[in-house]
Homo-oligomer: A and B are copies of this chain.
Amino acid sequence: MENTRKPLIFITNDDGVNSRGLHAVIEVARRFGRVVVIAPETVQSGMSHAITMYSPLFLREVRREPNLEVYALSGTPVDCVKMAFDHLLTGQQVDLAVSGINHGSNSAINILYSGTMGAAIEESFYGCPAVGLSLDDHDPQADLEAATLYAERIIERVLHAGLAPLCLNVNVPKGKPNEIKGMRVCRQNRGYWREEFFCRQDPRGKDYYWLCGSFFNQEPQAEDTDEWALAHGYVSVVPIQVDLTDYSRMERLRELL
């Protein structure tokens, strides 16, 4: 019985339930099993690992077909994951969880700000293999061909590999599939963002600011990073863990404190 059960794949994203990247990966995942989607009602880019603590959440069924259910939730990407695993799918084994395909890369330190990766990390907390998928192209009309092709390869290889719990940060460069050199398992690139605040005045003369940043790569020459892979035409794959302890500083701190 268990052997003939269709795999169950959960999908969310941070661009919201209407994004093209979400629908592209839904079509890929359907080839492998039953698909359940809970995606945010609205765009949640930059929402990181945020959860909604002080307002209620509304869940809306968007689409129902054989082996596919799509819901929209009035919350963050991580809320969507929690709603799936702790409510909608309670008692069911999720065989793989996906977040994406995001419009815009989530390499390097972007993983900290990314709603896509917040959701993928949360998915992995439920014991299944989780894959965050992003395309290095912010255009909502971006060409998704290469991203869907690699999404399929990764889903196929991870689904039955028995590596759970696992969380992968996968970023696909811009370009046609034949321009992409393959996949590269990398480490997270070191770097940071600096912001420019666009200051204007609202119709009532009050100043407002709009955040607009630039990324500074601290190690552009390092060939083992996700930034390098993306910049050189590879799909970057970074395995993710969440122990943020800086073990290298503990001794010195014990002396100081």
Which A residues are within 8 Å of any B CB, using their own CB? 43, 45-54, 56-59, 78-79, 82-83, 86-87, 109, 111-113, 118, 121, 125, 153-154, 157-158, 161, 163, 166-169, 183, 185, 187-188, 190, 192-197, 200, 202, 206-211, 213, 237-250, 252-254, 256-257
What 8 pairs between A and B have smallest CB-CB spacing? Answer: A56-B208, A241-B246, A239-B249, A48-B49, A239-B246, A48-B48, A86-B195, A187-B245
CB pair A87 B253 closer than 8 Å: no
Could you say which residues of chain B place their CB within 8 Å of the CB of A118?
48
Query: A79 CA to B209 CA in the complex, in Å?
Result: 11
Q: Could you list 25 examples of A-B contacts with CB < 8 Å? A: A47-B48, A48-B48, A48-B49, A48-B51, A50-B113, A57-B208, A58-B207, A59-B207, A78-B113, A87-B197, A109-B125, A112-B242, A153-B257, A154-B257, A158-B256, A163-B249, A163-B256, A168-B253, A185-B253, A187-B243, A190-B243, A237-B253, A239-B250, A240-B246, A241-B249
Give how many copies assemble into the complex: 2
CA distance A94 to B238 in the complex (A): 33
C-alpha spacing A82/B195, complex, angstroms: 7
Residue of B nearest to A54 (CB): B43
A108 to chain B minimum Cβ distance, whole angstroms, is: 10
B237 contacts A194, C-beta separation under 8 Å: no
Q: How far is the CA of A53 from the CA of B195 in the complex (A)?
A: 12
- Are A47 and B50 touching (Cβ within 8 A)? yes
State how many angstroms separate the Cβ of A122 from the closest Cβ of chain B: 8
- Report Cα–Cα, A113/B112, bound state, in Å: 11
